[in-house]
């Protein structure tokens, strides 16, 4: 008579460990994936928001429904931001955009406890001193708007079309340096994206790698 083989209802310890590890990894990746999906994605509706500008006025993305909108993350203490303002690249791009009816919103997501934080009045004076041509400069001290869009650097730019869809996200241009002399030889990605979108064409380069200083988010927000 054949002796019956005993099969344990439990997995051997190494297999249990491997299975538990795979489950933990899957849960972690799912959590990361959820966080990534929470940020703005090109081709998807731009996350709605309301923030107070440097004049104390509440400004909502919904205020500009049916228009092209550019979002620009700014921090005057960043050498890469200084490059594009001192070299007149950002003010020039802003003026050209506004001349075509584009709304331009500069956003500061720098935390109040960061060393290079500028309060509203000081930030407004800095923008004026650089001849910025923005529609409004918004204060996002708690970082909620920046986190919703996944803004990682200053500068970091986004273009939203009249349908409310994000059509560009990334760098201002193709030369990731802090040297203003490099502006002349760079491709201005924002100007390119706006030109194509305003002409009713799909944006040929909808995503680029943003470069600059990291956004100084607070520990919460």
Q: What tens digit of pLDDT does each residue of 197-213 get?
A: 999 999 999 999 999 99
Residue 19 has pLDDT above 80, yes or no: no
Looking at 3.60.20.10, 3.40.30.10, 3.90.1150.10, 3.40.50.150, the CATH number of the domain 50-214 comes to 3.40.30.10
Average pLDDT of the chain, as a whole number? 86
Mean pLDDT over 69-95 rounds to 98
Distance in angstroms (rounded) separating the CA atoms of residues 64 and 162: 8
Token readout for 40 is: 């703005």
Residue 67 has pLDDT above 50, yes or no: yes
Global pTM reads 0.82
User: Are 157 and 72 spatial neighbours (Cβ–Cβ below 8 Å)?
Assistant: yes
What confidence category does residue 17 fall into, taking pLDDT thresholds of 50, 70 and 90?
A: very low
Res 219: pLDDT = 82
Residue 60's DSSP bridge partners are: 50
Mean pLDDT over 167-172 rounds to 98
Res 161: pLDDT = 98
164 contact partners, CB below 8 Å, separation of at least 6: 45, 46, 65
| Residue % of the chain over a pLDDT of 70 | 81
Res 220: pLDDT = 62
Q: Which of 154, 60, 74 is nearest to 120 (CA)?
A: 74
Higher pLDDT residue, 6 or 192?
192
Distance in angstroms (rounded) separating the CA atoms of residues 74 and 89: 14
């Amino acid at each position: 008579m054949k002796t019956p083989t005993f099969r344990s209802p439990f997995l051997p310890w190494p297999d249990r460990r491997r299975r538990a590890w795979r489950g933990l990894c899957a849960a972690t990746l799912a959590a990361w994936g959820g966080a990534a999906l929470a940020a703005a994605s090109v081709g998807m509706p731009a996350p709605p928001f309301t923030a107070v500008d440097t004049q104390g006025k509440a400004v909502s993305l919904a205020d500009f429904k049916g228009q092209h909108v550019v979002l620009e993350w700014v921090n005057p203490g960043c050498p890469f931001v200084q490059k594009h303002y001192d070299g007149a690249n950002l003010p020039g791009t802003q003026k050209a955009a506004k001349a075509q009816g584009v709304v331009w919103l500069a956003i500061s997501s720098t935390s109040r406890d960061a060393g290079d934080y500028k309060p509203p009045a000081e930030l407004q004076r800095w923008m004026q001193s650089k001849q910025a041509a923005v529609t409004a400069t918004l204060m996002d001290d708690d970082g909620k708007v920046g986190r919703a869009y996944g803004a990682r650097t200053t500068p970091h730019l986004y273009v939203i079309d009249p349908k409310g869809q994000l059509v560009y996200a990334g760098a201002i241009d193709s030369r990731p340096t802090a040297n203003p002399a490099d502006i002349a030889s760079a491709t201005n990605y924002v100007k390119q994206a706006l030109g194509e979108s305003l002409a009713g064409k799909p944006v040929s380069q909808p995503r680029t790698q943003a470069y600059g200083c990291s956004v100084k988010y607070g520990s919460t927000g």
